[in-house]
Amino acid sequence: MSTNKEKSICDWIALSFVIGVGSRTAATLIDRFGSPAAVFEASVQSLEQAGLRRDTIEVIKSAEPREKARLESEEIARVGGEALILTDERYPALLRETYDPPIVIYCRGRFDTALSQPVVAIVGSRRCSTYGRNVAEKLSCELGERGVTIVSGLARGIDSAAHRGALDGGGLTVGVMGTGLDAVYPKENRRLAARILEQGALLTEFPLATPPVSQNFPFRNRVISGLALGVLVVEGAERSGSLITARLAYEQGRDVFAVPGNITSAKSFGPNYLIKDGAKLVHTWQDVIEELPTEIKGPILSAERGESRIKQVTMEEVALSDSERKVLKMLRTDDAVHIDQLISKAGLASGELMGALLKLEMMDRIRQLPGKSFVKRM
């Protein structure tokens, strides 16, 4: 990278550091003065005429933003990341088209590869049900198998399930963070984040050492929807962040999809409300693909990605032993069954039961949850 390019990127980062200058104001200033460097070199009078407050102007005219940006640029490189500015040809095109795209984003991993494919966002409740988790994993896996990149927010619950499903299907996924690249939140998702870096990318508009404070997440949500052709909501309560993401998607002109849920469950308020409001009801991955532009959905619908996995499941069904088939029939996709219930009802010796559970897990027919509970995969 040339010295001039490095300096230019540092000026973009520096402008993003100025308190009182958000994404829209920064873009307006760049349009007015020609570049971030020109903003910093502008006279106080010119900055006043641009409508900036006196305290904001004082920050711009100080050495602090540029010095902080220089250090940030060095640290980003040290952790294996890079900064992309709004005018970079590698900056995500869909995100650039939104009303207030971040003027700088930071990323790690296979960023270019992940965003070279069609992108769909899957979001939902942190405190999701077993049904919601299974649906998110199933749909993201099937979409990932067919060359769709899954973007989500790396949060607990539906977000984590969406990332895992895409990874398990051999697909690509992007985790959009509400922190800096150096701070995975929640901490329990560090291993998941490491997997994402192998089969996708991590992305954020926040500098290093940014903590996971609540005001960051609406900004993160607009990036999630901004990166995607459409947003799929799987569970979310009345005041859920996933509804904020859906609203932002509508404002950005994106398709909004929702998986219907139990009308008696508070977790299903969000998607059921969205369906009532005109969102596309989703039962299968085809329901999502059919709404995408013709030039995108055509090749996907005709492709045979994922067929080998479907055929494999059919063959494995034939190969099940009587005990494995018995255990599988006792499990459900929407409600976990504890090991004690299986022991009392299966009528199998302990060793035979544990062997059947292990075999079914290895065949990817069931999944073990925390607390020795099991659920059937969809």
Question: How far is the C-alpha of 251 from the C-alpha of 21, rounded, in Å?
Answer: 22
Tell which of 41, 70, 99 closes a domain: 70
Same domain, 126 and 178: yes
Same domain, 38 and 153: no
Residue type, 192: L
Residue 309 has pLDDT above 90, yes or no: no
Q: Cβ distance 229 to 296 under 8 Å? A: yes
- In a domain, residue 180? The reply is yes
Q: Cβ distance 251 to 174 under 8 Å? A: no
Same domain, 226 and 334: no
Q: Cβ distance 236 to 269 under 8 Å? A: yes
Provide the pLDDT confidence category of residue 303 given band limits of 50, 70 and 90.
low
- In a domain, residue 104? The reply is no
Q: What is the mean pLDDT of residues 115-132?
A: 94
Residue 365 has pLDDT above 90, yes or no: no
Residue 1 has pLDDT above 80, yes or no: no
- In a domain, residue 99? The reply is no
Provide the pLDDT confidence category of residue 305 given band limits of 50, 70 and 90.
very low
Nearest to 135 by CA among 161, 173, 164: 161
Q: What is the mean pLDDT of residues 252-277?
A: 93
Same domain, 48 and 193: no
Residue 18 has pLDDT above 50, yes or no: yes
Q: What is the mean pLDDT of residues 114-123?
A: 97
State residue 240's pLDDT score: 87
State residue 333's pLDDT score: 80
State residue 359's pLDDT score: 84
State residue 152's pLDDT score: 98
Q: What is the distance, to the nearest Å, from the Cα of residue 354 to the centroid of all Cα atoms in its chain?
A: 35
Provide the pLDDT confidence category of residue 315 given band limits of 50, 70 and 90.
very low
CATH number assigned to the domain comprising residue 324: 1.10.10.10
Task: Count other C-beta atoms under 10 Å from residue 119's C-beta.
Answer: 23
Q: What share of the chain is helix, strand, coil (3-state, %, to 5)?
A: 55, 15, 35
Same domain, 33 and 60: yes
Domains held by the chain: number = 3
Question: How far is the C-alpha of 278 from the C-alpha of 251, rounded, in Å?
Answer: 14
CATH number assigned to the domain comprising residue 270: 3.40.50.450
Q: What is the mean pLDDT of residues 159-163?
A: 97
Q: Which long-range contacts (CB under 8 A, 24 or more apart) does 365-369 make?
A: 365/313, 365/316, 365/328, 366/327, 366/328, 366/331, 369/130, 369/336
Residue of higher predicted confidence among 317 and 267: 267
| CB neighbour class for 8 (10 Å; exposed up to 12, middle 13-18, buried from 19) | middle
Residue-number span of the structural domain to which 1 is assigned: 1-70
Q: What is the mean pLDDT of residues 231-245?
A: 92
Per-residue burial over 135-167, b if 16 or more Cβ lie within 10 Å, else e, is: bbbbbbbbbbbbbbbbbbbbbbbbbbbbbbbbb
DSSP output for 29-81: HHHHHSSHHHHHHS-HHHHHHTT--HHHHHHHHSSHHHHHHHHHHHHHHHTT-
User: How confident is the prediction for the chain on average, in pLDDT?
Assistant: 91
Residue 340 has pLDDT above 60, yes or no: yes
pTM summary value = 0.81
Residue type, 171: G
Nearest to 224 by CA among 238, 209, 199, 243: 243
Provide the pLDDT confidence category of residue 307 given band limits of 50, 70 and 90.
low
Percent of the chain whose pLDDT exceeds 70: 94
Same domain, 132 and 32: no
Q: What is the mean pLDDT of residues 242-262?
A: 94
- Helices 241-251 and 216-227 cross at an angle (nearest 10°) of 50
- In a domain, residue 102? The reply is no
Q: What is the mean pLDDT of residues 351-373?
A: 84
State residue 306's pLDDT score: 47
Residue 352 has pLDDT above 90, yes or no: no
**Both tokens assigned to 296:** 């995108």
Residue 28 has pLDDT above 60, yes or no: yes
